[in-house]
Amino acid sequence: SSWYQRRVRGRTIITCQIEEGSTRSIEEMKIGVIICGDAPKWAPFRKINANRCFHREGDSELRFFHPIEGDFPTLENTAELDGVVCQGSAKSAYENLPWMLELCEFFRSVEGTKLRLCGICFGHQLINRAFGGTVTKNVDHGFVFGQMK
């Protein structure tokens, strides 16, 4: 297998492993993006940021999902994708909101398929929860963005 890193402004933002015998090169990979944020102030930037991070020249358009608005990924509508990235959210991954529970069901349904999952912040916490991990409130520090010492 080989490793690929996507860099923006000199910083590595995504690293993925391409399996031996893959039928697609990294340039041909099709990515879905699950947008979990619903704060109105960030709405204009959701797709712009995803395109900056994951879209490469010559790619087809990214496939976006908006579970808060009822647009969920399924095994059927992700069949042509190589991977799905679940983005961050101002929500907490330990909450039991219906859209979060449905996303957890989707993540579990992916097990054993070719589809790869990647989570960023809230996204990786929700994937962890879907597979039996624990996500709890940070009672010592509240919301933390950045490095903890």
How many Cα atoms occupy the beta-carbon half-sphere of 14 within 13 Å?
Answer: 22
Chain segment 92-135, per-residue pLDDT in tens: 999 999 999 999 999 999 999 989 898 888 899 999 999 999 88
Q: Which residue has the higher pLDDT, 1 or 50?
A: 50
Question: Please, are residues 87 and 125 in contact by the beta-carbon 8 Å criterion?
Answer: no
Rounded to whole angstroms, the Cα distance separating 123 from 106 reads 13
The pLDDT confidence band at residue 142, using thresholds 50, 70 and 90, is low
Going by pLDDT thresholds of 50, 70 and 90, the confidence category of residue 74 is very high
